[in-house]
């Protein structure tokens, strides 16, 4: 797909868009380095300013002075649920349906194994070919664990729906694709999976904090997602998991640690799962990580997710239109249709890695996904329309002058 819409947008119109933006003041809640256009909030969200004070308080007083008393006195033991209940409001879930813990990979493992146990006699897991690697790797690990009794089917988008049949135990799909930003139809897939008697688990890593979703209303079974992208919880922030209330009492996850016990401080020899979502927990969580994430989620709760989605769509559309105007030969990897596109916009280019390096050097922070994708992540809470204008200006210049064509930009870093 090439960008071929005929448009003529002027800089003065961009300034007007920013002036009329209902979220224009939300960037003030973040620390954004001077001279940087940060378009990587889909990978590591910016730092909310209030994190500094909160962490100082947690470290100095809660940990430093109150030490072990804080498990009770500062609610450390319940933080995963307290923050989970807040996060629930961002994804259309109810209280007691979301818990914050571990990383996405671990949560996925726990829930998929539990799902297989709930659908005994069925042997198939269905997922998308090209899904985020960790999702696929975890599923492959589960298949190995079950010694060939479980069949993992990975399909391209057009074949996905029909692969979900009456042998399918669980369907694992990512709502917004990490490379292309294409949205999968949550309602249609959930309905179809249920019609076939399968459970469905949605990965919301590129969804939570940037667009509203309605897990309860769509009757979704399970979900996972991470805290460090659009939820701005900080590097390595704990992830979350969702289990529909109706499934909780029948759900048995394999990492049955003491935090998932009905009465952890009875220190009994036998595991007895907590009656509620707490059974999805395993062991002690990072209180520092949870505390920072709490601030990120408060920041997201202070705005209206519908407005966030509206701005997200407009930022993406503006970028695509400006590309059509200035770099018409670029190949777009994301859907042109606003309703089918998530929060980032990607382009494909054979020199993608070097171009990413050149953009970063000029202060436009984007990332590269092998083999040829450059991702531009727009975080409506702190990305302005003028940021998009400058980004396209800089990108056009880099392409025109071949500023990317330097040895330094070809050397692959450890993390891309
Ligand atoms: C970022 C991301 C993850 C991250 O998983 P972790 O185990 O938390 O590192 C998983 N899935 C998707 C779709 C992602 O985008």
The CATH number that applies at residue 247 is 3.40.640.10
Query: Quick one: 308 and 216 in the same domain?
Result: no
Query: Quick one: 91 and 40 in the same domain?
Result: no
With a cut of 80, say whether residue 350 has pLDDT above it.
Answer: yes
Could you tell me if residue 66 is inside a domain?
A: no
With a cut of 90, say whether residue 296 has pLDDT above it.
Answer: yes
Structural domain harbouring 24: 11-48+304-410
Give the chain's radius of gyration (CA, Å). Answer: 22
Percent of the chain with pLDDT over 70: 98
Residue positions annotated with a catalytic role: 132, 203, 228-229, 375
Query: Quick one: 177 and 230 in the same domain?
Result: yes
Enumerate residues 6+ apart whose C-beta is below 8 A from 146: 116
pLDDT (tens digit per residue) in 120-146: 999 999 999 999 999 999 999 999 999
With a cut of 60, say whether residue 1 has pLDDT above it.
Answer: no
pLDDT (tens digit per residue) in 315-346: 999 999 999 999 999 999 999 999 999 999 99
Q: Tell which atom from ligand 1 comes closest to the C-alpha of 108.
A: 7
Residue 416's pLDDT band, with cuts at 50, 70 and 90, is confident
Asked if 374 and 416 count as a contact pair (C-beta separation under 8 A), the reply is: no
Question: Residues with beta carbon inside 6 Å of ligand 1?
Answer: 103-105, 132, 134-135, 174, 178, 203, 205-206, 226, 239
With a cut of 70, say whether residue 5 has pLDDT above it.
Answer: no
CB-hemisphere CA count at 13 Å for 93? 29
281-287 mean pLDDT: 97
Residue 2's pLDDT band, with cuts at 50, 70 and 90, is low
The pLDDT of residue 411 is 84
pLDDT (tens digit per residue) in 373-394: 999 999 999 999 999 999 999 9
DSSP, residue by residue, 247-266? HHTT---S---GGGBSSGGG
Protein residue whose Cα sits closest to atom 1 of ligand 1 = 205
Distance CA 167, CA 260 (A): 30
Asked if 322 and 388 count as a contact pair (C-beta separation under 8 A), the reply is: yes
Distance CA 360, CA 36 (A): 9
Task: Give the single-character DSSP code of 236.
Answer: T
214-234 mean pLDDT: 98
Query: Quick one: 284 and 327 in the same domain?
Result: no
Could you tell me if residue 56 is inside a domain?
A: no
Residue 81's pLDDT band, with cuts at 50, 70 and 90, is very high
Distance CA 50, CA 338 (A): 33
Residue 162: count other Cβ atoms within 10 Å of its Cβ.
Answer: 9
Asked if 341 and 181 count as a contact pair (C-beta separation under 8 A), the reply is: yes
Can you list the positions of beta strands (E) in 330-391?
A: 331-332, 344-348, 364-365, 367-369, 373-377
Enter the pTM of the model: 0.97
């Amino acid at each position: 797909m090439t960008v071929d819409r005929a448009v003529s947008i002027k800089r003065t119109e961009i300034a007007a868009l920013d002036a009329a933006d209902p979220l224009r003041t939300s960037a003030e809640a973040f620390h954004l380095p001077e001279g940087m256009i940060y378009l990587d909030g889909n990978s590591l969200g910016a730092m909310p300013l209030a994190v500094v004070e909160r962490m100082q308080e947690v470290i100095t007083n809660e940990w430093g002075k109150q030490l072990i008393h804080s498990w009770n006195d500062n609610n450390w033991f319940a933080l995963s649920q307290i923050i989970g209940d807040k996060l629930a409001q961002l994804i259309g879930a109810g209280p007691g349906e979301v818990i914050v813990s571990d990383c996405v990979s671990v949560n996925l493992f726990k829930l998929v194994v539990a799902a297989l146990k709930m659908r005994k006699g069925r042997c198939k897991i269905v997922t998308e070919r090209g899904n985020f690697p960790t999702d696929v790797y975890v599923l492959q690990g589960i298949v190995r664990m079950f010694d060939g009794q479980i069949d993992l089917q990975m399909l391209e988008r057009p074949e996905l729906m029909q692969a979900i049949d009456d042998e399918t135990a669980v369907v694992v799909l990512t709502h917004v694709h990490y490379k292309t930003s294409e949205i999968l139809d949550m309602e249609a897939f959930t309905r179809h999976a249920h019609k076939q008697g399968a459970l469905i688990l949605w990965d919301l890593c590129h969804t939570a904090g940037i667009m509203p979703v309605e897990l309860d209303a769509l009757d979704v079974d399970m979900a996972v997602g991470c805290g460090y992208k659009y939820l701005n919880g900080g590097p390595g922030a704990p992830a979350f998991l969702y289990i529909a209330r109706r499934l909780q009492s029948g759900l048995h996850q394999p990492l049955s640690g003491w935090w998932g016990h009905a009465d952890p401080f009875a220190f009994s020899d036998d595991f007895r799962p907590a009656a509620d979502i707490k059974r999805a927990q395993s062991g002690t969580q990072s209180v520092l990580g949870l505390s920072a994430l709490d601030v990120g989620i408060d920041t997201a709760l202070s705005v209206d997710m519908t407005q966030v989605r509206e701005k997200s769509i407009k930022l993406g559309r503006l970028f695509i239109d400006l590309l059509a105007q200035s770099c018409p030969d670029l190949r777009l990897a994301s859907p042109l249709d606003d309703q089918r596109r998530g929060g980032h916009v990607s382009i494909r280019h054979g020199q993608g890695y070097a171009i990413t390096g050149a953009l970063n050097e000029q202060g436009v922070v984007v990332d590269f996904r092998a083999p040829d994708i450059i991702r531009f992540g727009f975080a409506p809470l702190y990305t302005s329309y003028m940021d998009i204008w400058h980004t396209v200006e800089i990108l056009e210049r880099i392409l025109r002058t071949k500023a990317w064509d330097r040895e330094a930009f070809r050397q692959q870093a450890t993390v891309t």
